[in-house]
Amino acid sequence: MARPRVLSGIQPTADSFHLGNYLGAVRQWVTLQETHDAFYCVVDLHAITVPTEPAALRRRSRVAAAQLFAAGLDAERSTVFVQSHVREHTELAWILICLTGMGEAGRMTQFKDKSAKFGESAASVGLFTYPILQAADILLYQANAVPVGADQKQHLELTRDLGQRFNHRFGDTFTLPEPYILKEVEKITDLQDPTAKMSKSSSSPAGILDVLEQPGPLRKKIMRAVTDTGTEVLFDEENKPGISNLLRIQSALTATPIPELVARYEGQGYGTFKKDVAEAVLETFAPIRERTEKLLSDEKELDRLLAVGAERAATVARQTMAAVRDRVGFLPTL
Ligand code: TRP
């Protein structure tokens, strides 16, 4: 039996992944490559839905790819590639755009949130069609499952709807993917505002832990993380969101159940606990940072790895698109 296929994407919009990206996505992608036929893409086409400097995009695309390999994705086992290298993404997106109702696209809550920042009329049409491009990413590879955070659920529903609509109208072409919602326990919040998600776009620098950051600043941020009144290390999301977040981080990084951690730190106060959290973060990040730096120091080799991924991805994408073109009624090219 063939392994089930997964596909996921991550945007190259920052100079480093943060702890939320790592625990919420990247680390689980690494695990999934053991059991699945895994396709992971750096979604640069999605990144340009908001204004982006070319030099920054180029740098961040390489940094993102390097971090994926450094975190443990294996170029042999997984297909790691850059979205824009496979032209079929934009081609399928156009066809799906033509199958999407204005009202249907207008209901996407992430567009509403993201466009609120510039005002809806200043947002690009690309940002509006973002979820349709995402649907193309997924359907192109006939993915069975899509490992994403809970915030992507609506986009996956749209993907299924569009796939189903195409199949219904033009004949069975696409596999309808199941969401594979990544574990909620690993929801990581802002160190300075522990009720808000750790996020590149909304967290302050002090609230975010970057994978590529140096040990000194990382340690400092954890020691200065907002904690709650009281002195006991207890898991209580409501009254102790700061400590609960640190417990979740420590638990995820050291594979220790939270109750065991709570027992371990009984009577020890926040200081000792935070020091240990910092050590766990450094132990995880330091080797990834070192491997990322090494990969980035040889751009040619990194670009070669990405070319291999792109070729593997394109083999699948071309096959899907040949069927799509024919079913839609486009003339063959001779
Ligand atoms: N929208 C996703 C996010 O912000 C990124 C993404 C783009 C993606 N294309 C995808 C995720 C395809 C899964 C599958 O996290």
Among 134, 146, 182, 197, which residue has the most ligand 1 atoms within 8 Å of its CB, making it the best to mutate?
Answer: 134
114 is annotated as an active-site residue: yes
Closest atom, ligand 1, to C-alpha of 25: 15
Give first-to-last CA distance, the chain, whole Å: 36
Query: Is the shortest distance between the CB of 8 and ligand 1 below 6 Å?
Result: yes
Query: Is the shortest distance between the CB of 146 and ligand 1 below 6 Å?
Result: yes
**Cα separation, 291 vs 286, whole angstroms:** 9
Q: Which of 94, 12, 79, 81 is nearest to 52 (CA)?
A: 12
Query: Is the shortest distance between the CB of 114 and ligand 1 below 6 Å?
Result: no
Place of tokens 């991924």: 309
Helix count (H) and strand count (E) of the chain? 14, 5
Count the neighbouring beta carbons within 10 Å of the beta carbon of residue 334.
Answer: 3
**Cα separation, 187 vs 323, whole angstroms:** 39
The one catalytic residue in 114, 221, 240, 274 is 114
333 C-alpha vs ligand 1 centroid, how far in Å?
32
Query: Is the shortest distance between the CB of 133 and ligand 1 below 6 Å?
Result: no
pLDDT tens column, 320-330: 999 999 999 99
**Cα separation, 121 vs 243, whole angstroms:** 41
Eight-class DSSP state of 22: I
**Cα separation, 237 vs 94, whole angstroms:** 44
169 C-alpha vs ligand 1 centroid, how far in Å?
26
- Assign residue 167 a region: left if phi > 0, alpha if psi is -120 to 50, beta otherwise? alpha
pLDDT tens column, 246-287: 999 999 999 999 999 999 999 998 999 999 999 999 999 999
Tell me if residue 324 falls in helix, strand or coil. Answer: helix
Tell me if residue 263 falls in helix, strand or coil. Answer: helix
Is the C-alpha dihedral spanning 14, 18, 24, 25 positive or negative?
A: positive
Residue 67 has φ and ψ, to the nearest 5°, of: -65, -35
Closest atom, ligand 1, to C-alpha of 155: 1
240 is annotated as an active-site residue: no
Burial call 302-328: b when 16+ CB within 10 Å, e when fewer: beebbeebbebbbebbeebbeebbebe
Closest atom, ligand 1, to C-alpha of 11: 5
Q: Which of 284, 276, 279, 248 is nearest to 18 (CA)?
A: 284
Tell me the one-letter amino acid at 25. A
186 C-alpha vs ligand 1 centroid, how far in Å?
18
Residue 238 has φ and ψ, to the nearest 5°, of: -80, -50
274 is annotated as an active-site residue: no
- CA angle centred on 236, ends 233 and 241, rounded to 5°: 85
Among 92, 137, 144, 159, which residue has the most ligand 1 atoms within 8 Å of its CB, making it the best to mutate?
Answer: 137
The dihedral over CA atoms of 212, 32, 140, 62, expressed in degrees to the nearest 10, equals 20
Under a CB-based contact definition with an 8 Å cutoff, are residues 74 and 303 in contact? no
8 C-alpha vs ligand 1 centroid, how far in Å?
6
239 C-alpha vs ligand 1 centroid, how far in Å?
33
Q: pLDDT of the chain along its 334 residues, tens only?
A: 789 999 999 999 999 999 999 998 999 999 999 999 999 999 999 999 999 999 999 999 999 999 999 999 999 999 999 999 999 999 999 999 999 999 999 999 999 888 888 788 889 999 999 999 999 999 999 999 999 888 899 999 999 999 999 999 999 999 999 888 776 556 899 999 999 999 888 889 999 999 999 999 999 999 999 988 888 999 999 999 999 999 999 999 999 999 999 999 999 989 999 999 999 999 999 999 999 999 999 999 999 999 999 999 999 999 999 999 999 999 998 8
Tell me if residue 198 falls in helix, strand or coil. Answer: coil
Query: Is the shortest distance between the CB of 44 and ligand 1 below 6 Å?
Result: no
**Cα separation, 131 vs 93, whole angstroms:** 9
The dihedral over CA atoms of 313, 316, 317, 320, expressed in degrees to the nearest 10, equals -170
275 C-alpha vs ligand 1 centroid, how far in Å?
34
